Amino acid sequence: MERAIPLPSKRDESSSALTCAPKGCSSRELAAIEKARGLMLATLGSALSIDIIAASVQMSKGHFSRLFKRATGATPHSWRLEKKVRSSLVDLRNDDLSLTQIAHAYGFADHAHYSRVFKQVVGTPPSVWRITALSGEGLKSTELTGKQ
C-alpha cells in the first residue's frame, strides 16, 4: 500500500486568475501584479527585495503590497516564500544536495531559516519530508509541486 507524503493542498496562485474583490482593481493594477508574480517566480533564488519588485511595476512598496494581498490573498513576501519552498521539493528528492545547499539555492539565509519556513508551508521539516520521499512511499508528481 502506498502512502502519500502530506502536503497541504493550496490553490496555485501562479496559474489562477487574479481578482481584487471586494474593493476592485483596475486592469492596469492586475497586469502589474501579474508581472510582479512572474518576476518573483523567475528570481526565486535571488534576494530581490519587495522594494525592487514594486519599483519594477511603477508602484510604491506600500501600494504594491496592499494590491498584491488583495489580488492573491497573501503578502508578496509570504507568497514568494511559499513558492520557494514548493519549488525546492524537487531538489529535496536529490540526495546529493545537502539541505544547506538547497536553502542557499533558493535564497534562504541558512538551513535553519529554510527549515522553519518549510515546516510552516508543508507541515513537516524538510529532513523528514526528504526521508519519506526517498524511501519511496508513494510520492506523485502532483504532491511534489502542490499542483493538481
Is residue 111 within 8 Å of residue 100, measured between CB atoms? yes
Tell me the pTM. Answer: 0.76
Task: Determine the Cα–Cα distance for residues 54 and 32; give it in Å rounded to an integer.
Answer: 9
Domain map (residue ranges) of the chain: 27-73, 79-145
- Could you tell me the CATH superfamily of domain 79-145? Homeodomain-like (1.10.10.60)
Task: Determine the Cα–Cα distance for residues 88 and 53; give it in Å rounded to an integer.
Answer: 22
Tens-place pLDDT, residues 8-42: 334 444 445 566 655 677 889 899 999 999 999 99
Tens-place pLDDT, residues 45-102: 888 899 999 999 999 999 999 999 999 999 999 999 999 999 999 999 988 999 999 9
Question: Residue 146: is its pLDDT beyond 60?
Answer: no
